[in-house]
Amino acid sequence: MTSQTLREARKYEETFEKMIAEEERPAFHLSPRTGWMNDPNGFSWYQGKYHLFYQYNPYNSYWGPMHWGHAVSEDLLHWEYLPAALAPDEIYDRDGCFSGGAVTLPDGRQLLMYTGVVNERQPNGGHTEVQTQCLAVGDGTDYEKYENNPVLDEKDLPEGSSRNDFRDPKIWQDEDGTYCCVIGNRAADESGQVLLYTSQDGFRWEFKSILASNHNRIGKMWECPDFFRLDGKWVILTSPQDMLSQGFEYHNGNGTLCLIGDYDKETGKFIEESDQSIDYGIDFYATQTLLTPDGRRVMIGWMQNWDTCNHRRKHEEAWFGQVSLPRELSIQNGRLCQKPIRELEAMRCNRVAFENLTFSGNIYPEGLRGRRVDMEIVVRPVEGCDMYRKFAVRFAQNDQYQTSFSYRPGESVLKVDRKFSGSRRAIIHQRRSKVLCKDGVLKLRIILDRFSVEAFINDGEQVMTAVLYTDQEADGIYFSADGTVSIDVVKYDLL
């Protein structure tokens, strides 16, 4: 039985979606049907399609009462909106249906697991959020909340753990049929931990272990955890809040973290071997992964940063928030490696290529334009010349605007810079990353959509992501060098 709250949300989104023209949206990155989007949820393969839900306020283009928006796709690039799946309409989730995951049950129904939020009044007159884990079951369009919600609450927490920061369940089914989920939580030392729970039927859950603990090393609370096996290793992905930078590896604020290691299934303990950022750019948070039917581990994230949400004049815009390009994951030389999903190659057309372009200063190769672009660049020093001091590629460019990636081989540092992208806000516009380049040779694959750029560095060893709301008329692409370089360029339009 659909609640009045959900019916109203569905009616509203159906009406107001029509007011957003197709060219006002990203071409192949999912944005909200209308209003606000943050974390991707319930990323799954169900009934022959990819399903993606998302944190959603249909009524305004800023954060508000959290619903679950819903879209489906056959290729993870072209999306069809379905009606909103969840609304905050029960006593245990009246202040928000927060992030979660999805799994298919043996009877063919889809099970959603999400965090229900209640703002509880305190004796001093203030309020505090209490977070519990809840279920809903449905057919891919309509979902009914479980009569015994919530299924996990404060009594299911290890001693000293916070009931206020207990959220974002990621659910999957193990090879032996057991259902598992990881949940982000704050420990007694005020820092993040990932909790592991198990269930035999997907409905009755019990605490298994503290899978991993932060001990105040990397940020504070760990949000949106994910846990999976990849190329013989075990991987935890999570999004820490309140990070301090550690050289070039982590940046201040809210960021992303990948832990690679081993897993003791008996004790439910993760044995950490290495850590790294997931994305080194400006706008990337709250990852989720799925296993495709052909066995690829694919990740997406919210292509935004909580500290840059004033980038657009949200009260004047019909939508806010995008999901990143889906990325195929692997582990290479002990590091997480990401490549654009291979389905993107089917969208390529209008190939333009240049080989061994040797220059210093600026160069404007003919035919290099566009705001929906897949471009591969190899940069190298020229034999007989001194090592170049700086190389830059500039795009979304005209007389007024430009965004750039620039590389200094002497420092092995790559920088993204969007301060001339048309933003009227004093937000983060630059970020730098230490990249692993040999002898001044750099490989970049740059994917442009109307309102974003994602750069895959050295075959996906690192990625840098940023949103940019530059006027679409700014579509120039050119290169500059301090010193002499030789470059190869292959550029496609994406249609």
Would you name the residues annotated as active-site residues? 39
Torsion sign over Cα 239, 234, 337, 323? negative
Cβ neighbours around 91 below 10 Å, total: 8
Residues 6 or more apart in contact with residue 240 via CB below 8 angstroms: 192, 214, 218, 219, 220, 221, 222, 223, 254, 255, 256, 257
Cα separation, 474 vs 181, whole angstroms = 45
CB 170 within 8 A of CB 179: no
Pull the structure tokens for residue 412: 């092995």
Strands (E), 214-255: 222-230, 233-240
Residue of 371, 375, 376, 457 lying closest to 421 (CA atoms)? 371
Is the bond preceding 150 in cis, omega lying within 30 degrees of 0? Answer: yes
DSSP β-ladder status, 335-340 and 327-332 = antiparallel
d(CA 284, CA 300): 9
DSSP string, 305-323: -GGGTTSS-GGG-SEE--B
Element (H, E) at 329: strand 327-332
Partnered with residue 394 across adjacent β-strands are 404, 478
12: amino acid identity, one letter: Y
**Cα Rg of the chain (Å, integer):** 23
**Dist. CA 442–CA 419, nearest whole Å:** 23
CA 332 – CA 337 distance, rounded (Å): 6
In order of 311, 321, 327, 364, 367, the CA distances from 174 in angstroms are 41, 32, 23, 53, 50
Nearest Cα neighbor of 90 from 163, 144, 36 is 144
